[in-house]
Amino acid sequence: MRIAVVGAGVSGSYLGHMLHKGGHDVEIFESSRKENQWAVCAWGASRNMLVKFSNRAGLDFDNYIFHVGKTLKMDLPNHVREFLDLRGLVTYNKQKWEHDLLKDLKITYGFKCTQQNFPFNEYDYVIDCTGMHRSLLPRSDEDFLIPAYEYLVENVQGMDEFYVIGYKGARGYFWYFPLDNNRGYVGAGDIDKKYAGVEEFLSEHPEARVARKIGRPIRLAPPRRMEPFCAGNVIGVGESIGCVFPILGEGIIPSLICCDIFLQVLNGSKQKGFDFEQYR
pLDDT single digits (tens) 222-257: 999 999 999 999 999 999 999 998 777 789 999 999
Spatial contact of 125 and 274, defined as CB atoms under 8 Å apart:
yes
Pairing of strands 125-128, 2-6: parallel
For the chain, give the mean pLDDT: 96
pLDDT of 273 above 90: no
Task: Please name which of 62, 68, 66, 8 lies closest in space to residue 40, comparing C-alpha atoms.
Answer: 8
Q: What is the DSSP letter of 119?
A: -
Alpha helices in the chain (DSSP H): 10-21, 47-57, 94-101, 198-204, 252-268, 276-279
SS3 165: strand
- 1-43+93-142+220-280 CATH choice from 3.40.50.2300, 3.30.2320.80, 3.50.50.60, 3.90.1150.10: 3.50.50.60
CATH code, 66-90+148-216 = 3.30.9.100
For every residue of 205-229, which 3-state class applies, written as one string?
CCCCEEEEEEECCEECCCHHHCCCC
Please give the pLDDT value at position 76: 96
pTM for the whole structure: 0.95
Spatial contact of 242 and 136, defined as CB atoms under 8 Å apart:
no
In the chain, ranges of CATH 3.30.9.100 domains: 66-90+148-216
In the chain, ranges of CATH 3.50.50.60 domains: 1-43+93-142+220-280
pLDDT of 272 above 90: no
Please give the pLDDT value at position 246: 79
Instruction: Give CA–CA dist 95/83, Å, rounded.
Output: 29
